[in-house]
Chains A and B, each alone.
Chain A
């Protein structure tokens, strides 16, 4: 088990390999469909200090607003990452992002982006919304809440021992590619 704390260095990221289990600490930034389209098309400057050497989490949480105006994450598992495939590599490069958390894995273009910039794809257990919300220590800030709505906003949260697996590394390795290839071969046999 490897413990990592954001912000991350390229050196630390380059050491990670597919299959490594990671417990992540520190701040992560939530972003999904609207955020990624926005980042690729508009490249807002104000996100640069928020994202540099940080980790993006593909997640649209269930949140609760407390009486004192603060927020609590009630459920916060990953959403399907492949929808961000058209945007992710650009976002990683533009903002020097060191990691992307999601589920289901991503494609070739993202893999190339991970290799070029020095970043990893970290897989979280899909559907484990309650379990993962327990690892959210606090909500630090939220951006674009009004414009995007709560599932799509840039939530900045602090996590503690957030359990992840490296499934795509910065050297071109991808567990998803291996499983896809093996299952396609098996499917051919089943269809014969």
Chain B
């Protein structure tokens, strides 16, 4: 049981051979308003649901190799690696909770958000039909499942964040955010008398430690934290979640925050919660923190918790329409 499973995924060529996109497919960027993202976005979901980003796999392997061989923590991380290999090979969901679907779309002027919304919804419906996504959208009170992953009331699932930018290419990022991890996220308001946390970096640190201890293994540790300091109740949460998209192992552009993240990650991994809360040295894979503005009267710390199966990915349509996937 204590052999180290090597996370060998199928090659880029094999992934491309299973692609929904016909060979040589290109988006017509000369007609931005008439663009159809349905197929290339369905392909994005095929990949995110069945393949983990390399930085997440590397962090899991690093965690495993630091655990005592044969320990429950070691074996659990090994099983996680086995699961990653299997899901990728079978093109099947890594986890049965394929999450709430959140899109971030960055696009040049002239692109139609209204059309893109329709197309990305169609992509989610198609991925659901193919059993790549579980129907995860139910009426709140009755619990009735729409069966399609579409919001039965309005237009709030999947969730969209659009941004027009001054570049010629388009980026579509997606996150599949599991419900178990979402439930252990937390928002604090400082000062917090119970925690003895004031309006400073020490207070922020106390909130994060408290949230991770409260989460135990329930968010499927080792987790990945997105932490926003400030904002309001909505912008803080929004940013915290977006911070989970940052690749593990990349430095925070703010050196102060970078040092804070590194020290905190080390400290959180001394809590002994370990993978799935079984005990062990791998409680979090990383922390991504950012300081925001705030109203003088408010001080929020918003902590988005992502499970170890951090399913995220980005599709880029280059200025010439060439598609590429970062996983």
Residues of chain A touching chain B, judged by Cβ–Cβ distance below 8 Å, are: 33-34, 59-64, 74-77, 79-80, 82-83, 103-105, 123, 125-131, 133-134, 148-152, 163, 165, 167, 175-176, 178-180, 182-184, 186-187, 190-191
Contact = CB atoms under 8 A, between A and B. Distances in A.
A131 B86 contact: yes
Contacts of B272: 179, 182-183, 186
Interface string B38-70: 000000000000000000000000000000000
B210 interface: yes
Interface string B255-282: 0000000000001001111101111000
B248 interface: no
B87 interface: yes
B247 to A, nearest CB: 20
A184 B217 contact: no
Interface string B122-144: 00000000010111101000011
Interface stretch (B12-20, B93-101, B103-111): B93-101
Contacts of A128: 79-80, 82-83, 95
- Please classify how large the interface on chain B is, using the bins under 10, 10 to 19, 20 to 34, 35 or more: 35 or more
Contacts of A186: 270-272
Contacts, number: 170
21 contacts: A34-B143, A60-B96, A61-B134, A62-B93, A63-B131, A74-B92, A74-B131, A80-B180, A126-B307, A127-B220, A129-B83, A129-B95, A131-B82, A149-B147, A152-B145, A179-B217, A183-B213, A183-B216, A183-B271, A184-B213, A186-B271
A91 to B, nearest CB: 18
B18 to A, nearest CB: 16
A175 B279 contact: yes
A186 B209 CA distance: 10
A74 B276 CA distance: 22
B145 A103 contact: no
Contacts of B180: 79-80, 103-104, 126
A190 B270 contact: yes
Give the secondary structure class of B's interface. Answer: loop
B251 interface: no
B92 A75 contact: yes
B145 A130 contact: no
Nearest to B50: A130
A63 B308 CA distance: 22
A175 B90 CA distance: 34
Q: Which of B133, B180, B216, B273 has the most CB of A within 10 A?
A: B180
Contacts of A191: 195-196, 205-206, 209-210
B309 interface: yes
Contact of A79 (B79, B97, B131, B133): B97
Give the secondary structure class of A's interface. Answer: mixed
Interface in B192-215: 195-196, 205-206, 209-210, 213
Contacts of A64: 131
B92 A133 contact: yes
A30 B187 CA distance: 32
A127 B95 contact: yes
B8 interface: no
Contacts of B279: 175, 178-179, 182
A63 B145 CA distance: 15
Q: Which of A104, A126, A165, A178 has the most CB of B within 10 A?
A: A126
B76 interface: yes
Given A61-B96, A105-B218, A127-B309, 9 more contacts: A60-B96, A77-B96, A130-B86, A131-B79, A149-B147, A151-B145, A179-B279, A183-B272, A186-B270
Contacts of B145: 148-152
A165 B274 CA distance: 15
A127 B274 contact: no
Contact of A123 (B90, B97, B271, B276): B276
B53 to A, nearest CB: 15
A149 B144 contact: yes
